[in-house]
Amino acid sequence: MTVLEDRTIMAERIEELTLDDMFAWLERSHVPEGIKVEIVRGAVYMSPQRQTHWEIIADIYEQLRARYPRQRTASDVRIDFPGHLNGFASDVAAFKEGARKDAKGRWRYQDVEFVAEVISKDTAANDYGPKLETYAAAGVPVYVIADPYTGECHVHTRPKDGRYRADLTFDFGDEIDLTDTPVGIKLATNEFPREQQGGAADTGTAAGTS
At 122-178, the pLDDT tens digits run 789 999 999 999 999 999 999 999 999 999 999 999 999 999 999 999 999 999 999
CATH of domain 49-75+89-189: 3.90.1570.10
Partner residues linked to 35 by β-bridges: 48
- Note the pLDDT of residue 12: 46
Domains in the chain: boundaries: 49-75+89-189
- Note the pLDDT of residue 13: 54
Which of 2, 1, 3, 40 has its CA nearest to residue 19?
A: 40
Better-predicted residue by pLDDT, 103 or 8: 103
Percent of the chain residues topping a pLDDT of 90 = 71
For residue 146, give Cα distances in angstroms to 26, 107, 127, 139: 28, 23, 10, 20
